[in-house]
A and B are shown apart, each in its own frame.
Chain A
Amino acid sequence: MDQYTLLPLLPLAAFILNILFGRGIFKDKAHWIAIPAVAGSFVLAMAAFIGVLDGRVVNRDVYTWIVSGNFRVTVGFLIDQLTAIMLIVVTSVSLLVHIYAIGYMHKDKGYYRFFAYLSLFTFSMLMLVMSNNLLQLYFGWEAVGLCSYFLIGFWYEKKSASDAGKKAFIVNRFGDFGFGLGVIMIFLALGSLQYAEIFANVQSLQGRTISLFGYPVELVTVIALLLFCGAVGKSAQLPLHVWLPDAMEGPTPVSALIHAATMVTAGVFMVARFNPLFSMSETAMNTVALTGAITSLFAATIALVQNDIKRIIAYSTISQLGYMFLACGVGAYGAGVFHLFTHAYFKALLFLGAGSVMHAMSGGLDIRSMGGLKKYLPVTYWTFLIASLSIAGVPGLAGFFSKDEILWLAYNAGPVGKIAWMTGTIVAALTAFYSFRLIFLAFHGTFRGTHEQEHHLHESPRAMTVPLVSLAIGAVAAGWIGMPAVLGGSNWIGHFFEPVAGHPPVTATHGEEWMVMGISVASGAAGMLLSWVLYVRNPALPAWLAGRMKGIHTVLLNKYYVDELYDFLIIRPITWAAKNVLSATTDNKIIEGIVNGVPRGIRTIGERLRKLQTGYVQHYGIGMAIGLVVIMALALIAAGK
């Protein structure tokens, strides 16, 4: 067993130990199993990353999984530039979230179970990113979805939590159905699921078409869009974004790890991984770019008016994921993954900070009843502020570099790119606005909660603040590896990704690059300034504005009524059909008709036949006599012939 195999197996071992012996033996010491395992994975991931830096790209099979005719699938690992970065993201954030959970989940009765699931998730996510074939990717893809379901519904006694878990799982089914079809089509078209063979033969798809509803459609477009379906579900893009805000019912460390930093970015990773395939279809690329752009705008506008601290961050996550797809859609896969990398740190930090706030507020989530927390939670405040500055794109912090890279490459990429760039710039302003609205409402001003809550306010324990500070370092510094040339850097990350993700051609001038950067910084600053005016300078203004623009405000507050629309369009017809067609007709009439009808028929026949059994000996005698006569008659007729 080599180091690469050990990398995912360590968390798996921790999962098995904790799920089997957690309740009886480890109990509140469960983290002593889980944390060393994920720390070991982190060290191995660093080693793998350094190996890739030295040019050691690994692609090896460790086990032959399925052989059936010419269908052959292995379990294997591909460690290239893309995977190396993902390994760092997954293991580092996972490690910090594990540590944070010691404090956050303290005294929870499912303590061991929580760590077991976190370990299982880490294992699944590592299998997903390290895979060297599509089926193993699909395995990891479904396994992280399963862990997400377990962890959203972690407090399953709560109806809303178990509902949210189911919703996440079911909504993902829609996307994964397309993804599964995409995997099958790739196998049918190229005869293999191994990345190496797929990418070697991908050019042979050029010009091939298939007939869809009688129209010839480019095969590569169909495959790319089907794969993108999976990404839309997993990464909560329109129209399958509805599960992510509800997923906030899960414990906050889960929101940070799964629903911000790692699992939801699996879609972006997958699109980046399959960039040779996506790049071949302009339609698919434009779909990806526009889906990303529209989602990022859509979610950012919702985040403007929400009052639940975790939901604001959740919509922000959807919006930032849209950014990443926008980047992939304009061919800037490297920039997309770069944003994934920086986003993982500042968004995990925002979530963990929100968790720290909830901890202090005894579970309170409504920012209207917070205020002035800066004084009570200094570490949380400063780290939260750093993350917000980073996401708002303040120059020098991580979010600025990755966002700027995306906007710059979008600007370069034709008409769709220009639309994406404009949307992205607007979203940058909105992002800055809602992030600072959250800061001002929660941390500044005076406390608006109950007296009891105020009395209880306290900074979180060390196990929680240490991960916050560590992530804050990431939120500041993670972007420096991508410092663009105009700022005196070398865009190291862009060159690092070039072997796998390529680099889109840049035609515009340095002057334009300065302009793009300036506009995005200015829009971020405008957003921050506006939120300062509205929530600090003149706190009466927001209510007045909401009153003036009541229509828009209500629509945004209700998240564009998407949930209600789905309820009306899908859920109600299905429950209606289930109740009135399946239950009333199929079940009650057809199935129960057969099940009850057969015995009833037999009973009826029996009722008739028992009449023959009169009990009178003479009747039996007559029967015998008649039978005898008939048999003899037949015998005579037969003999006569």
Chain B
Amino acid sequence: MVPLNWYIGLSAVIFSLGIIGFLIRRNILIMLMSVELMLNAVNICLVACSHYLQDLRGQVLVVFIITVAAAEAAIGLAILVSLFRNKATVHTDALTEMKG
């Protein structure tokens, strides 16, 4: 039986990888993947806790998160494609239209 701590530790490591990847990588594709990583880290944590607490609400929440993540990936990739068509780059340093 794997103790709960391990699950939570794994979740924390994956979440940190996600954050660090999001912050330091300049490729939008990789950054989107990092966001997915963070979401799934949370999912692991939720499922583990759900099992530990014998409460199904955690798993229900996971289903919702997967749905949102799918939608997010679809929209994010669509934006990315049209961005690439206009700018011919996926490097975020070149995408500073929002600079004030």
A-B contact count (CB 8 A): 33
Question: Per-position contact with B for A611-625: 1 when CB-CB < 8 Å, else 0?
Answer: 111111110011001
Q: Is the CB of B22 within 8 A of A615?
A: no
Residue B96, interface by CB 8 Å: yes
Known: A610-B100, A611-B100. A616 touches B93 (CB 8 A): yes
B19 — which chain A residues lie within 8 A by C-beta? 625
Query: Could you tell me the distance between the alpha carbons of A611 and B23 in the complex, rounded to whole angstroms?
Result: 20
B90 to chain A, nearest CB (A): 12
Is the beta-carbon distance between A622 and B23 smaller than 8 angstroms? yes
Among residues of B, the one whose C-beta sits closest to the C-beta of A613 is B100
Residues from chain A with Cβ under 8 Å of B31 in the complex? 617
Beta-carbon contact of A618 and B99 below 8 Å: no
- The CA-CA distance from A612 to B26 in the complex, in Å, is 19
Asked if A617 and B92 sit within 8 Å, CB to CB, the answer is yes
Contact in complex: A614, B22 (CB < 8 Å): no
Q: Which of A609, A612, A618, A622 contacts B92 (CB 8 A)?
A: A618
B24 at interface by CB-CB < 8 Å? yes
Q: A614 near B96 (CB under 8 angstroms)? A: yes
B98 in the interface (beta carbon within 8 A): yes
CA distance A613 to B100 in the complex (A): 5
The residue in A610, A615, A625 that gathers the most chain B C-beta atoms within 10 A of its C-beta is: A615
Contact-residue size bin, chain B (C-beta under 8 Å from the other chain): 10 to 19
CA distance A610 to B99 in the complex (A): 8
Which residues from A are CB-within-8-Å of B99?
A: 613-615
A614 surroundings in chain B (CB, below 8 A): 96, 99-100
Within A581-630, the residues touching B (CB, 8 Å) are: 609-618, 621-622, 625
Chain A residue at minimal CB-CB distance from B96: A615
Q: Which residue of A lies closest to B28 (CB)?
A: A617
B23: contacting residue among A609, A613, A621, CB under 8 A: A621
Please tell me if the beta carbons of A612 and B100 are within 8 angstroms of each other in the complex. yes
B10 to chain A, nearest CB (A): 20
| A616 surroundings in chain B (CB, below 8 A) | 92-93, 96
Contacts of A617 in B (CB 8 A): 28, 31, 92, 95
Q: In angstroms, how far is the closest chain B Cβ from the Cβ of A572?
A: 55
B window 48-74: CB within 8 A of A: none
CA distance A612 to B99 in the complex (A): 9
In the assembled complex, which residues on chain B have CB atoms less than 8 Å from the CB atom of A613?
98-100
A615 contacts B98, CB within 8 Å?
yes
Distance (Å) between the CB of B98 and the closest chain A CB?
Answer: 4
Cα–Cα, bound, A609→B100 (Å): 9
In the assembled complex, which residues on chain A have CB atoms less than 8 Å from the CB atom of B92?
Answer: 616-618
Return the chain A residue nearest B35 by Cβ.
A621
- Chain A residues lying within 8 Å of B98, measured Cβ to Cβ, are 613, 615
The closest CB in chain B to the CB of A625 belongs to B19
Q: Enumerate B22-36 residues with CB–CB distance to A below 8 Å.
A: 22-24, 26, 28, 31
Residues of B within 8 A of A611 (CB): 100
B75 CB, nearest partner CB in chain A, Å: 16
What residues on B are CB-neighbors of A618 within 8 Å? 22-24, 26, 92
How many Å lie between the Cα of A616 and that of B93 in the bound state? Answer: 6
Q: Which residues of B contact A612 (CB under 8 A)?
A: 100
- Shortest beta-carbon distance, A516 to chain B, in Å? 96
**How many whole Å from A530's CB to the nearest CB in chain B?**
93
A632 to chain B, nearest CB (A): 13
Q: Is the CB of B23 within 8 A of A625?
A: yes
* Cα separation A252 to B96 with both chains bound (whole Å): 81
Q: How far is the CA of A466 from the CA of B23 in the complex (A)?
A: 106
Residue of A nearest to B34 (CB): A621
> With a CB–CB cut-off of 8 A, which chain A residues contact B93?
616
18 A-B contacts (beta carbon < 8 Å): A609-B100, A610-B100, A611-B100, A613-B98, A613-B99, A614-B99, A614-B100, A615-B95, A615-B97, A615-B98, A615-B99, A616-B92, A616-B96, A617-B28, A617-B92, A617-B95, A618-B22, A618-B24
Please give the residue numbers on chain A whose beta carbons come within 8 Å of chain B beta carbons, in ascending order: 609-618, 621-622, 625
Given contacts A610-B100, A618-B92, 6 further A-B contacts (CB under 8 A): A611-B100, A613-B99, A615-B99, A615-B100, A618-B22, A618-B23
The 7 closest A-B pairs by CB, nearest first: A613-B100, A615-B99, A615-B96, A610-B100, A615-B98, A617-B92, A621-B23
